Amino acid sequence: MSFWDYLSDRRDLLLFLSYQHLSMVVQCLIAATVIAVVVASLIYRNSKLVGLAAASSAVGLTLPSLALLAVLVAIMGIGVWPSVVTLAFYAFLVILRNAVVGLAGVDATLVDSARGMGMSRLSILSRVEIPMAWPVIMGGIRVSAQMIMGVGAIAAYVGGPGLGGEIFSGLSRIGGANALNSAIAGALGIAVLALLLDLALVGVSRLTTSRGIRV
């Protein structure tokens, strides 16, 4: 069977697996973004905590995803949860690093001006600092999205949803019927999803970034 015939024959399944993969990545990305921005907002003024966060991110990102999945499987069992926790973990580290850098880089004179206008600490954070740091934060979100899109494929090894199952299924049957087609379909699907998600995030960035600070 040719590759195009394989895609046509398994179109519905591949579309469903693509939806699962993208859904898992997007949900983990949203959760990681919220948690990372909250944590960054709490620590970015404390140099010791900033250093600890930077060191933790650097160390955490060196952990092999398969090793982390193995540890989580021992705790949670095989299935969706180890995959979700792993993806959220890696996304959190990247976004946290960018969020801290972005918030710490906000011009102090703007903060002082807002404080002089009588704005509360929370108002300054939500209306001045986070909007100013948002382009840097979005940069971290885009990087983490691409990274966890690939990690999501590895997560299929422990029962995670998505297109990774097609890749592992094909690789485990190399030499068999449609084995190569299966592996290529999974890998190509993930590449297409990564591109589409990045384009979507570029659009979100433009829509959510103040016109005055767009690069």
Which tens digits make up the pLDDT trace of 101-157? Answer: 999 888 878 877 888 887 888 888 888 888 889 999 999 999 999 999 999 999 988
Residue 104: its pLDDT value, please? 87
- Would 4 be classed as within a structural domain? no
Lowest mean pLDDT among 111-115, 195-199, 211-215: 211-215
- Would 85 be classed as within a structural domain? yes
CATH number of the domain within which 136 lies: 1.10.3720.10
- Would 14 be classed as within a structural domain? no
Distance between CA atoms of residues 67 and 24, nearest Å: 20
- Would 12 be classed as within a structural domain? no
What average pLDDT score do residues 161-166 get? 90
What average pLDDT score do residues 20-31 get? 96
Residues 196 and 18 sit within 8 Å (Cβ to Cβ):
no
Distance between CA atoms of residues 189 and 126, nearest Å: 38
Residue 214: its pLDDT value, please? 59
Distance between CA atoms of residues 182 and 95, nearest Å: 33
Residue 212: its pLDDT value, please? 64
Sequence-distant contacts of 60-65: CB under 8 A, at least 24 apart = 60/89, 60/90, 60/93, 61/90, 61/93, 61/94, 65/90, 65/151, 65/154, 65/155
Q: What total number of domains does the chain contain?
A: 1
Per residue in 59-89, pLDDT (tens digit) is 998 989 989 999 999 999 888 899 999 999 9
- Would 31 be classed as within a structural domain? yes
Residue 215: its pLDDT value, please? 53
- Would 10 be classed as within a structural domain? no
- Would 29 be classed as within a structural domain? yes
- pTM of the shown model: 0.89
Residue 98: its pLDDT value, please? 94
Domain span at residue 55 reads 24-213
- Would 96 be classed as within a structural domain? yes
Q: Is the pLDDT of residue 209 over 90?
A: no
Nearest residue to 143 (alpha-carbon basis) of 52, 32, 51, 42: 32
